[in-house]
Amino acid sequence: MLTYKTGIDCINWSKLFQLYDRIGLVAGLAKSREYEKIKEAFVQSYKLATAWDGDSLVGAGRLLSDGICYGMIFDLGVLPEYQRMGIGRGILDQLLQNNEHLRVHLTSTFGTEDFYKKNGFKQHKTAFAKYPFDSEYLMD
C-alpha cells in the first residue's frame, strides 16, 4: 500500500541514499557518494515528504523555507518504476500542505517542466540563479 510521510523521524538514511543513488539530484552529492552532506542538507530542510510502498522508499522531496514568505522545492524524485502513478504530485501536495501562503520557487530538470505546469506552477519571467560553476541550466 502506498503511503506518504513528512518529517525526518521516519527516515532510514540508507534507504534515502539508495533512492538518490538511483534518481540523482541533491546537487550531485549522491553521485559523489557524499552521504553525510545529503543527511545534513535534509536535516536542515524546512519540510521533507516521502512516499512509501510498504517499507520501500519510492519517492521523496523537500522544501526549504523561512515559513513566512518564501519556499523553494528541491530534490523531488520518484523511482522510475513508480513514475506516472501520481506519486510525484502526492509528494508535492504534502510539501505544499499548510504552506499555501508561501511564494514557492523551484527549478525543474530538463523534460519535467510540464509536470510542474500540470501542478499549478508557472514560469517566472525574471527568475535568476547563480551557481559556483558553469551549467547547462544557466543562460548568459
Ligand X SMILES: CC(C)(COP(=O)(O)OP(=O)(O)OC[C@H]1O[C@@H](n2cnc3c(N)ncnc32)[C@H](O)[C@@H]1OP(=O)(O)O)[C@@H](O)C(=O)NCCC(=O)NCCS
Assigned C-alpha cell, 86:
501520481
83 makes contact with ligand X (CB under 6 A): yes
Note the residue count of the chain: 140
Chosen residue from 10, 97, 112, 124 binding ligand X by CB under 6 A: 112
- The rounded distance, in Å, linking the Cα atoms of 51 and 87 is 7
30 makes contact with ligand X (CB under 6 A): no
Q: Which is nearer to ligand X, 56 or 112 (CB)?
A: 112
Chosen residue from 22, 33, 118, 124 binding ligand X by CB under 6 A: 118
Assigned C-alpha cell, 8:
525526518
Is the separation of the CB atoms in 76 and 91 below 8 Å? yes
89 makes contact with ligand X (CB under 6 A): yes
Chosen residue from 7, 32, 109, 124 binding ligand X by CB under 6 A: 109
85 makes contact with ligand X (CB under 6 A): yes
Strand partners, 10: none
**Phi and psi at residue 136, in whole multiples of 5°?**
-70, -10
Strand partners, 4: 51
Q: Which residue is nearest to ligand X (CB)?
A: 88
Q: How far is the CB of 87 from ligand X (least distance, A)?
A: 4
Helix H or strand E segment including 138: none
8 makes contact with ligand X (CB under 6 A): no
User: Which x/- pattern over 48-77 shows residues binding ligand X (rule: CB under 6 A)?
Assistant: ----------------------------xx
**Which residue, among 115, 23, 28, 19, has the nearest Cα to 58 in the 3D structure?**
19
Q: How far is the CB of 47 from ligand X (least distance, A)?
A: 16
